[in-house]
Chain A
Amino acid sequence: MDAIAPPVTRFARTPGVARRERLQAVAKWVFFTMALAMIVPLVAIVVYLLVQAAPSLNWEFLVEVPKKGMREGGIWPAFVGTLYLVAISLAIAAPIGVLAAIYLNEYSRESWFNRVINLAVINLAGVPSIVHALFGLGAFVYAARFGYSIISASLTLAIMTLPVIIASTREALASVPMSFREACWNVGATRWQTIRAVVLPNSISGILTGVILQVSRAAGETAPIMFTGAVFFKAVQRGDWFPYRLGDQCMALSMHLYTVSTQVPNVRESIPYATAVVLLGSVLLVNATAIAVRVWLRGRKKW
């Protein structure tokens, strides 16, 4: 017993104490600097964009159509096109992804089939978007004969976001304690009754957040839609909410940004920046909604 008695502690400032305190201070500053380094570029980008875009930023720019070969006017067709692509791709990917994740997490047992699907999900999530683009071109534009169209582009975006939605949904489901499920099974509840009464109500905030965060990805990608349905220019009425049909090609913000930055000579300098501001603003708006939904739902969480 007395062989391993701890050294007597007193409040004297020995060299050891001083060294630990210095080390602690250094560590804190290193971590703080790194955290700051995260914020500085973000603020810099936003401020720089806003300053550069200021001459073109107004309501007209959003609702007006491009004029004089993109050198004048606004970005309405691209803005609406992005809305279409994001909404349709999520309408396809979210139900499939969430339901598949529920099957994988709640129903399937440990088996080779489950492991194969897991592997597929992880690998799909890591595939570069340009490869998704080529897949979409082959599968939807040619094989399925959808042609270069909104539906082909949306399906390609859906394939791209699907694995991430599956992964984030599974994570949300797995965060519900196993003991809740066992308690339900013990009183004779079926798996579906358990999922409906306990699992979904307590994971819905995480599921929704995962889905909504994919909006920014779908809105920002250029490669998958460039090969499958987005075009350089499309004549559209000013402020028209329904200019496209599913089989049409469309303009999109990410594609438009690429076009006006690199493909058109003598564009007014503020136009690409203003386009970027609209893209960034839309994505931030959606993300802010996601955060609000999450906070609201988490407030109703029950344990």
Chain B
Amino acid sequence: MTLEVRDLRLAYGAREALRGISFDVNRNEIFGVIGPAQSGKTSLLKCLNRTIDQVAGTTLSGTIRFDGEDVLRLRDVFSLRRRIGMVAPLPVGLPMSIYDNVAFAPRCAGMHHRADLDAIVERCLRQAALWDEVKDRLPSLGTALSGGQQQRLTIARALSHQPEVLCLDEFSIAIDPVTTMRIEDVLRELRGEMTIILVTNLVQQARRLADRTMFLWNGEIVELGPSSVVFSDTPASRRTYEYVNGIFG
């Protein structure tokens, strides 16, 4: 068990985003999260790496157990964020060189030996399937890459601090289908090394990749089970069937 979420509640002011959800994420699985807009998917991820702290006016309760600690009461959020990586929906190349984009997190963590950084940059860019395209222009700007390349750069940056859990928040909404497929292959390979939480609007993407899938709706878990069941003709909840098949949502 990597993550144990128990009775997690989150409200922005008076508006409840998560209404007491509990679930476990297993080691080295791809855990899919699906649900319509406003169902609490992104809010859940923000709780996992505590970037929810940056949002003013929230109330938060419940526990998230990770490596024996309660994430929500942890003081050292910076170490937490290195262990739980996050890829945002829109690709963000930082305004620095491709090399520095990937070396940024290790440097923040105090690593400065050029040889070590070189090794990390190459490993992460290879893992993110970007190395062959950029290996000859590492000093050029990360912001000058195409959208699909920047999203793979973002993934490489998230891998650079060797997270145990990698969260991806609708990583494919701004990139083309071919790049999406390449990144999906990358994720299948990464599964051997880490746990992946895949939040997606594309039901088919969760069906293709996820071992288990959770269907969130209106801040509550409608269904959580093996993808083979959730995406079958007979899931536990009728609403799951309707959402997956585009009848509501």
Contacts and interface: CB of A to CB of B under 8 A. Distances in A.
B86 interface: yes
29 contacts: A109-B56, A110-B56, A183-B92, A183-B157, A184-B94, A185-B81, A186-B81, A186-B88, A187-B85, A187-B104, A187-B105, A187-B108, A187-B158, A187-B160, A188-B78, A188-B80, A188-B81, A188-B82, A188-B105, A188-B161, A189-B104, A193-B108, A197-B96, A198-B94, A198-B95, A202-B95, A302-B141, A302-B143, A303-B143
B154 interface: yes
- In this complex, the interface size class of chain A, counting residues with CB under 8 Å from chain B, is 20 to 34
- In this complex, the interface size class of chain B, counting residues with CB under 8 Å from chain A, is 20 to 34
Contact of B95 (A182, A190, A201): A201
A186 B108 contact: no
A59 B94 CA distance: 51
Contacts of A180: 92, 94-95
B51 interface: yes
Interface string A161-203: 0000000000000000001101111111110010001100110
Interface string B61-91: 0000000000000000011111001111010
A180 B143 CA distance: 11
A182 B154 CA distance: 12
B109 interface: yes
Given A186-B86, A188-B81, A179 B92 contact: yes
The 6 closest A-B pairs by CB, nearest first: A302-B95, A187-B105, A188-B81, A188-B82, A183-B92, A303-B143
B108 A183 contact: no
A183 B157 CA distance: 9
Contacts of B109: 188
Given A187-B85, A198-B94, A302-B143, 4 more contacts: A184-B94, A184-B104, A187-B108, A193-B108
A303 B157 contact: no
Contacts of A201: 95
Contacts of B104: 184, 187, 189, 197
B105 A189 contact: yes
B172 interface: no
Given A189-B105, A201-B95, A302-B95, A182 B143 contact: no
B49 interface: yes
Nearest to B167: A186
A189 B51 CA distance: 12
B54 A183 contact: no
Contacts of A186: 49, 51, 81, 85-88, 158
Given A183-B157, A302-B141, A188 B92 contact: no
A197 B87 CA distance: 19
